[in-house]
Amino acid sequence: MKLGRIAWLLTTLVCVVAAVSALVDGYRGYAAVAFAVALSAAINLF
């Protein structure tokens, strides 16, 4: 696995964790933004 792909995978995972954490705490707007960033990072995996 290339280093760039690993970096995008970690970025995606961190953003998903941040989105879930924000959602659990009741911050829907921040969760939506973090999830959108996760989707944007996930595009670079393919």
Instruction: Report residue 23 as tokens.
Output: 């959602």
Closest CA to 32 of 10, 12, 16, 13: 16
Task: Yes or no: say if 20 and 31 are a contact pair by the CB < 8 Å rule.
Answer: yes
Banded model confidence at residue 34, pLDDT cuts 50, 70, 90: very high
Query: Position of tokens 């995996």?
Result: 45
Domain of 36 in residue numbering reads as: 3-43
C-alpha span between 36 and 15 (Å, rounded): 9
pLDDT, one tens digit per residue, over 10-31 is: 999 999 999 999 999 999 999 9
Task: Yes or no: say if 39 and 6 are a contact pair by the CB < 8 Å rule.
Answer: no
Please, what is the angle between helix 28-43 and helix 3-24, to 10°?
A: 160
Is pLDDT above 80 for 1?
Answer: no
Query: pTM of whole model > 0.95?
Result: no
The number of domains in the chain is: 1
